[in-house]
Amino acid sequence: MAGRGPLVVLWLGALVFVGFGVWGLVSPYGLLDAVGLSPVEAGAVAETRATYGGLIGSIGVALVVFAVRRPWNLPGLVLATLTFGGLCGGRLIGMWREGAWPPVQVGAASAEAVATVLAAVAWWAAARAAARAAGEPDEADRPTTAG
Rounded distance between C-alpha atoms, residue 115 and residue 84, angstroms: 6
Instruction: List, for residues 98-129, the tens digit of each pLDDT value.
Output: 999 999 999 999 999 999 999 999 999 999 99
In a domain, 69, yes or no: yes
In a domain, 139, yes or no: no
In a domain, 143, yes or no: no
Helix intervals (H) in 5-72: 5-26, 28-34, 42-48, 57-68
Between 121 and 137, whose confidence is greater?
A: 121
Rounded distance between C-alpha atoms, residue 116 and residue 27, angstroms: 27
Instruction: List, for residues 61-101, the tens digit of each pLDDT value.
Output: 999 999 999 999 999 999 999 999 999 999 999 999 999 99
Instruction: List, for residues 35-63, the tens digit of each pLDDT value.
Output: 888 767 888 899 999 999 999 999 999 99
In a domain, 145, yes or no: no
Does residue 41 come out as left (phi exceeding 0), alpha (psi in the -120 to 50 range) or beta? beta
In a domain, 141, yes or no: no
In a domain, 94, yes or no: yes
pLDDT at 38: 77
In a domain, 125, yes or no: yes
Rounded distance between C-alpha atoms, residue 111 and residue 88, angstroms: 8
Range of the domain at 74: 5-134
Rounded distance between C-alpha atoms, residue 96 and residue 90, angstroms: 10
Determine contact, residues 53/32, Cβ cutoff 8 Å: no
- Tell whether the model's pLDDT for residue 1 goes beyond 60: no
The dihedral over CA atoms of 119, 57, 15, 112, expressed in degrees to the nearest 10, equals: 40
CA angle 54/23/76 to nearest 5° reads 55
In a domain, 66, yes or no: yes
Number of domains in the chain: 1
Determine contact, residues 81/9, Cβ cutoff 8 Å: no
